[in-house]
Structure 1
């Protein structure tokens, strides 16, 4: 296009069009012969364009050979001429969360400058066990001492997680099969994440990781899984153990609040005083009673009766009374309890202990024990014990699965242990796939099986879990404190217990209706670590009535809290 003096205007030539002249074009002009700005375009407007070469005010025409602009070639787009796959391979460093390679600096050795070689990651399942004492739960938390934080740091130091991914565990898709709260132990749990399993100089990954871990956390093994594997969603069920001193099966002390609420109102139906309490002086102190309780042994009839109550919880039921924040009509309350096994009592030191193994689907908030992950178990065991010691008929348990809402207290958290999660459905799927290939095939997958490590797990439980629980209960009798706090309650919340076997109207809880003298559980029973002398100082600290806990949680939060 030929440009003549005085012909340019803002409607004919925009400032951006001036920028189409290149510096090479301008080199052919003398410094005194520059293209003037078109009429109507100020110096400020010109400066806003792409053309930054100074323009002389002389109205000199362009040289004849440059009078017509040559069409400018557009720069080639990034990755032009390459397939998408090839371009992504070359630019892999630009993905989120990775470090770009720094330019080589002079005077620096090549080993220091070279970027660490990328090693392939594989989706794996880590089978672990831990003593939760001193840890703030299982799940990774910022600036907190948790099991996953400690495990993840060890994996980074070993090289199973690259430095590129060390700043954010989400990058390796970390997930756990069961959550545990502060202080809760697990003989077995599973963490899924993408790991580097072929690390130069590390022939035994499990042994190397265990060297980096403290002795209270152990890795039993790892297995390669499908790429889509996620620990929590792939888990079919979980096994928990709850163990408690057998003296909790003794009936309430005569004249206590619980005793008055559970004995028949008709004197002719009054049951005989239990031999244990018949031999107890009327002026005995709690310390005197505890010494005698620890020497008491449950008879075959006591254990058989407790097993009958445990059997009532097996099968599919509506467990809304054994959690909080969920209504009877909520379908998520319907769960399947596969089995409940009560072992024969065993004496350790002065005290006899009873162990209960619960195998069920994911447990709801408070169903076994701790808030927020596994408290369904705590409430179930509590109702079994209280019903057994108060001569409650077995049929009452069936009523507790009905629509009426009652209060079920929680057992102390100290006795809870996650045995291990189970992955039967996943194991069946990979077994079907494995039939079509040999064990040497790279796509062959091993089943997830904690029982293969039974000997090591049992040794760990005895050394790091059972011994510590018993050592904690000896100087600080938390179980005895708990049962005495239940027995002294004289309100109406637990009047469904007793020989009558009915749920009276005063024991039914109605949402929004305030109850007179509700049972308030002490927060210290949610703890698992105690210091002798501090328990009495905390005796006055009470929680809100347990039916009020979790009421503000939505379904997503409650689902995440399942254990």
Structure 2
């Protein structure tokens, strides 16, 4: 299946009544068409409902997989997928149904997952001279890169004029190459404890394997240039992708050498802000091991045999998925950015910060003592994130750039979830 997550409280079905989720909407549609019996309609656990990747509130998926026991031979229904889609809203689409082995588990049978993060290239413009971040980096002795973008703006330029100039900005080949060189530092197996919350360096679960990071050439839509980054990893911890993207973008825009990413894998704890949730998209989960196993099962069978098990392959739905992405995800994402300037508000919140939490962004590519976080020790002037950037749903017509700038900062509180709860929140 695929979905636009805007307006939904995440992927996973909730026990509390009235909470709108992707799985809840799908389950209700399956009940209506007779794919779930009346005896099982009151509780999804009766049909062993599971998912390959859990997505947070508002996050989109071009492809995700839900496993459950369903009735596919429904009297009067010749096209199961088409009939279910009739009961689903247009922002949720069922791509296909595949019969799997009884031992199949949507989460543990999944080998890896692909995500895309999509952002305006103007985030690569270096910090504005005399901004809080610019001055903070100068205090560390860092050589902050200058950029002609800022010298071309008038001294009394308004926020609206600044934004218009940013949208006209086009990333240079050198900036795109810097992104690609830095992204290579993510590939392989590393300790990503600094790229999540609630985990320590000594926690073995923070070791994650990234198969491939690909950065596409910039593409212009409307007046804004966009860059997409594809992440292919075995699994991702809570907020890991958004923090990886933030480290990637902030490293490149400040002229910090790529080696800083390797420093962030070390035992010292530092703060990495999250990029806006708006740019995140689950492409699809991958089941290569399962698919290889059923090749043996299917050797002497025909597709119409009862024991035949088709492979799980999202690529056979590529045309429909790409059309859905453009109509329901990317077009909407770009419209929100055009109207609300979410990414601009985020980067200005970064540049307004003059404390020490981001002092590892420097030409020295080392983590200074001032940036290290010690448990139980309150640090002066900590960076405070805005909850607004966790949202992908915004009220139309509510754009007020100055008001966004003045919104109250809220610091992320201590995470009190146990390991099992954190694992359940992984993508």
Please list the CA deviations of residues 220-275 of structure 1 after superposition, one character each: whole Å capped at 9, or x if unmatched.
Answer: 00000011212111111111110000000000000011111224766xx8566211
Return the match for 1:182 from 57, 67, 71.
57
User: Do residues 149 (structure 1) and 24 (structure 2) align?
Assistant: yes
Count of residues in correspondence between the two structures: 422
Please list the CA deviations of residues 22-45 of structure 1 after superposition, one character each: whole Å capped at 9, or x if unmatched.
Answer: xxxxxxxxxxxxxxxxxxxxxxxx
Matches within 5 A, 1:144-543: 144-263=19-138, 270=143, 273-367=146-240, 377-531=241-395, 532-533=397-398, 536=403, 539-543=406-410
Deviation at 1:484, TM superposition (A): 0.3
TM-score, scaled relative to structure 2: 0.96
Conserved in 2, the CA contact under 8 Å of 1:264 and 1:270?
no
Q: Quote the Cα distance in structure 2 between the aligned partners of 1:474 and 1:534.
A: 10
Q: Quote the Cα distance in structure 2 between the aligned partners of 1:228 and 1:265.
A: 56
Does the residue aligned with 2:262 lie in a helix, a strand or coil?
helix
Q: Quote the Cα distance in structure 2 between the aligned partners of 1:353 and 1:459.
A: 18
Does the residue aligned with 1:195 lie in a helix, a strand or coil?
coil
Across the aligned residues of Structure 1 and Structure 2, the Cα RMSD in angstroms comes to: 1.5
Please list the CA deviations of residues 407-443 of structure 1 after superposition, one character each: whole Å capped at 9, or x if unmatched.
Answer: 1000001001111111111111111221243333311
Conserved in 1, the CA contact under 8 Å of 2:144 and 2:362?
no
Conserved in 1, the CA contact under 8 Å of 2:345 and 2:405?
no
Q: Quote the Cα distance in structure 1 between the aligned partners of 2:156 and 2:256.
A: 28
Where does structure 1 lack aligned partners over 5 or more consecutive residues?
A: 1-127, 368-376
Matched residue, 1:116: none
Q: Quote the Cα distance in structure 2 between the aligned partners of 1:378 and 1:390.
A: 18
Please list the CA deviations of residues 373-401 of structure 1 after superposition, one character each: whole Å capped at 9, or x if unmatched.
Answer: xxxx0000000000001111121111111
Moved more, 423-432 or 485-494: 423-432
Matches within 5 A, 1:8-47: none
Which 4+ stretches in 1 moved above 6 angstroms? Answer: none
Q: Quote the Cα distance in structure 1 between the aligned partners of 2:70 and 2:156.
A: 64
Q: Quote the Cα distance in structure 1 between the aligned partners of 2:424 and 2:164.
A: 42
Query: CA 1:422 to 1:275, structure 2 compared with 1: closer, same or farther past 3 Å?
Result: same
User: Do residues 558 (structure 1) and 422 (structure 2) align?
Assistant: yes
Where does structure 2 lack aligned partners over 5 or more consecutive residues?
A: none
Conserved in 1, the CA contact under 8 Å of 2:357 and 2:371?
yes
Please list the CA deviations of residues 289-334 of structure 1 after superposition, one character each: whole Å capped at 9, or x if unmatched.
Answer: 1110000101111101111111110000000010111110100000
Conserved in 1, the CA contact under 8 Å of 2:193 and 2:201?
yes
Q: Quote the Cα distance in structure 1 between the aligned partners of 2:389 and 2:414.
A: 15
Q: Quote the Cα distance in structure 1 between the aligned partners of 2:173 and 2:6.
A: 34
Query: CA 1:265 to 1:129, structure 2 compared with 1: closer, same or farther past 3 Å?
Result: closer
Deviation at 1:516, TM superposition (A): 0.2
Please list the CA deviations of residues 88-127 of structure 1 after superposition, one character each: whole Å capped at 9, or x if unmatched.
Answer: xxxxxxxxxxxxxxxxxxxxxxxxxxxxxxxxxxxxxxxx
TM-score, scaled relative to structure 1: 0.73
Conserved in 2, the CA contact under 8 Å of 1:524 and 1:538?
no
Conserved in 2, the CA contact under 8 Å of 1:264 and 1:500?
no
Q: Quote the Cα distance in structure 2 between the aligned partners of 1:173 and 1:539.
A: 47
Deviation at 1:285, TM superposition (A): 2.0
Conserved in 1, the CA contact under 8 Å of 2:127 and 2:254?
yes
Does the residue aligned with 1:207 lie in a helix, a strand or coil?
helix
Deviation at 1:366, TM superposition (A): 1.1
Q: Quote the Cα distance in structure 1 between the aligned partners of 2:375 and 2:145.
A: 38
Does the residue aligned with 2:355 lie in a helix, a strand or coil?
coil
Q: Quote the Cα distance in structure 1 between the aligned partners of 2:256 and 2:405.
A: 32
Q: Quote the Cα distance in structure 2 between the aligned partners of 1:234 and 1:265.
A: 47
Q: Quote the Cα distance in structure 2 between the aligned partners of 1:186 and 1:163.
A: 29
Q: Quote the Cα distance in structure 2 between the aligned partners of 1:265 and 1:212.
A: 59
Conserved in 2, the CA contact under 8 Å of 1:320 and 1:333?
yes
Q: Quote the Cα distance in structure 2 between the aligned partners of 1:315 and 1:436.
A: 38
Q: Which has the higher contact order (CA 8 A, sep 6+)?
A: 2
Q: Quote the Cα distance in structure 1 between the aligned partners of 2:424 and 2:168.
A: 42
